[in-house]
Amino acid sequence: MPSNSSQQPLTGLNVADFSWFAAGPICAESMAVHGATVVRVESESHMDGLRGVGPFPTGKTGYNVSGWYNNYNANKLNVTLNLNTEKGRDLAMRLVGWADVFITNITPRVIERWGFTYDQLVKTRPDIIAVYQPMQGFDGPHRDFLGFGAVLGPITGINHLTGFPDRPPAGMGTNYPDYVINPQHTLTAILAALRYRKRTGKGQRVELSQLESVVASLAPAVMDYAANGRVQTRAGNRIPHAAPHGAFPCQGIKIETVFGEQDEGRWCVIACFSDGQWASLRSAMGDPDWAKRADFDTHAGRKEHEDELEEGIGAWTSERSPEAVMETLQAAGVPAAVIQNARDCLEADAHLREREYYVYLDHPEAGRTAYDGPGFRLSKTPAQYRTPAACLGEHNEQVCKEILGLSDEEIADLMVEQVLY
């Protein structure tokens, strides 16, 4: 098993990870990098769908090389159990008996079919902390609805607020709830349940409705309607209390792609929250004639003529690199930043590089790849990334022997019966 440092805060905690895709695995990985022993359960017939989704290292294919999957599953052991068989479910229950925490984000009807409800789990492990992440909760008319972050965006209202007012809702362009909100809300709940168990000796059931977890992040828009009857909608990059406030085009660069050399657009965001910041921006641009008009001197005037304001600023930024724009404006006291892409974050961002945010691990099939670092840092007990994401079924024998207590003969029989595969 991966060796856990005595300095890790969750050393000795055992986690049975029956989740898939992102919301559950990211939460479980947070526990794994802080010392917990996490066993990820999959099967060849029900493997994590992210295993088949890129990006993949150039020239490499298969279920073990997805950068998307691997990024969320460092430090875990991996076992393949066929949960559609009685013996597979029996082994799963033996794993529950070993675990302190059980976590899953599969739908309620599958939970019930496999016998993984809290009432069933406590018969095996009375003090289990059983964590469920149904998309919309265990009751209500939508309890059995399937979905991912791309579905949660629209139904929680995120998409309605994202995009430009004269265009259809754009959404976040990624499954934002899966990565940011739901895993950390779940982790907080697990830590609270662990504290409760430490004090009382009792486990409990944790239910995180992903719908409700995400709706909580839209509190200002909900409050605006509750208090004022106003339905907020898409405003592009603009906000009521700043002008300018937007993303402005800058000099692009040439990049080599599989399709040959192509132009890559670059951008810089600029925001002025006061008339003083606008005056500083105007000075940094060389006090051009177009910017001297009197109605730009006040916030109200700039908001009224925001199209013209942005057109003038865009003409100035388009002649410069985003880095030059950012450095010039920041030196003048104007909020500005480069809109970074993945290459910028991995290679060009001096701040991320000096803090060593990205962790590089050597995977037996994918090679040396970058993993996201921890979302938080503990000064005395920091996260440790010890092993890359496991290959499918990589630890079958190890888990069966060391955790489930099976003999070589029993393991062989289970493989022949396709219970362990």
How far is residue 364 from each of residues 43, 336, 389, 394, measured CA to CA in Å? 20, 42, 10, 11
Separation between Cα atoms, residue 388 and residue 63, nearest integer Å:
14
Q: Looking at the predicted structure, is the pLDDT value of residue 274 above 80?
A: yes
- Classify residue 393: in a domain, yes or no: yes
Same structural domain for residues 180 and 320?
Answer: no
Q: What is the pLDDT of residues 11-36, one digit of tens each?
A: 999 999 999 999 999 999 999 999 99
Same structural domain for residues 252 and 207?
Answer: no
Q: Looking at the predicted structure, is the pLDDT value of residue 282 above 70?
A: yes
| Coil vs helix vs strand at 141 | coil
Average pLDDT, the chain: 95
Same structural domain for residues 213 and 255?
Answer: no
Q: What is the pLDDT of residues 232-251, one digit of tens each?
A: 999 999 999 999 999 999 99
> Last residue of a domain, which of 339, 372, 387?
339
| Coil vs helix vs strand at 417 | coil
| 178 flagged as catalytic | yes
What's the confidence (pLDDT) of residue 172?
A: 87
Average pLDDT on 334-353 reads 95
How far is residue 194 from each of residues 27, 100, 245, measured CA to CA in Å? 15, 9, 44
Same structural domain for residues 189 and 77?
Answer: yes
What's the confidence (pLDDT) of residue 6?
A: 58
How far is residue 184 from each of residues 273, 386, 419, measured CA to CA in Å? 31, 21, 33
Rg (CA), the chain: 26
Same structural domain for residues 46 and 138?
Answer: yes
Q: Looking at the predicted structure, is the pLDDT value of residue 129 above 60?
A: yes
Q: Looking at the predicted structure, is the pLDDT value of residue 3 above 80?
A: no
What's the confidence (pLDDT) of residue 2?
A: 43
Average pLDDT on 206-213 reads 96
pLDDT over 70, % of the chain: 98
- Classify residue 230: in a domain, yes or no: no
- Classify residue 292: in a domain, yes or no: yes
- Classify residue 238: in a domain, yes or no: no
- Residue 140 maps to which CATH number? 3.40.50.10540
Question: How many domains are contained in the chain?
Answer: 2
Comparing 38-47, 172-181, 185-194, 309-318, the range with the smallest average pLDDT is 172-181
Q: Looking at the predicted structure, is the pLDDT value of residue 256 above 90?
A: no
Separation between Cα atoms, residue 207 and residue 170, nearest integer Å:
30
User: Which residues make Cβ contacts (< 8 Å) with residue 35, sequence separation at least 6?
Assistant: 4, 5, 8, 9, 10, 11, 12, 13, 381, 384
- Classify residue 2: in a domain, yes or no: no
What's the confidence (pLDDT) of residue 258?
A: 66
Same structural domain for residues 102 and 197?
Answer: yes
Separation between Cα atoms, residue 24 and residue 75, nearest integer Å:
15
- Classify residue 5: in a domain, yes or no: no
Cα 1 to the center of its chain, rounded Å: 26
Beta pairing partners, 293: none
Same structural domain for residues 146 and 46?
Answer: yes
Same structural domain for residues 166 and 288?
Answer: no
Task: Tell me which residue has tokens 């805060």.
Answer: 9
Q: What angle do CA 59, 61, 65 make, to 5 degrees?
A: 105
User: Which residues make Cβ contacts (< 8 Å) with residue 29, sequence separation at least 6?
Assistant: 38, 72, 73, 74, 75, 76
> Last residue of a domain, which of 285, 310, 339?
339
Q: Looking at the predicted structure, is the pLDDT value of residue 327 above 90?
A: yes
What's the confidence (pLDDT) of residue 397?
A: 97
Same structural domain for residues 59 and 202?
Answer: yes
- Classify residue 224: in a domain, yes or no: no
Separation between Cα atoms, residue 318 and residue 324, nearest integer Å:
11
- Residue 319 maps to which CATH number? 3.30.1540.10
Same structural domain for residues 145 and 294?
Answer: no
Comparing 114-128, 184-198, 211-225, the range with the smallest average pLDDT is 211-225
- Classify residue 261: in a domain, yes or no: yes
**Full domain range(s) for residue 133:** 14-217+355-416
Same structural domain for residues 122 and 207?
Answer: yes
User: Which residues make Cβ contacts (< 8 Å) with residue 77, sequence separation at least 6?
Assistant: 1, 2, 37, 38, 39, 40, 390, 394, 395, 398, 399
Comparing 102-106, 232-236, 251-255, 406-410, the range with the smallest average pLDDT is 251-255
Determine which one of 17, 48, 100, 178 is catalytic: 178
Which pair of structure tokens corresponds to residue 172? 């976040």
Same structural domain for residues 20 and 61?
Answer: yes
> Last residue of a domain, which of 310, 339, 368?
339
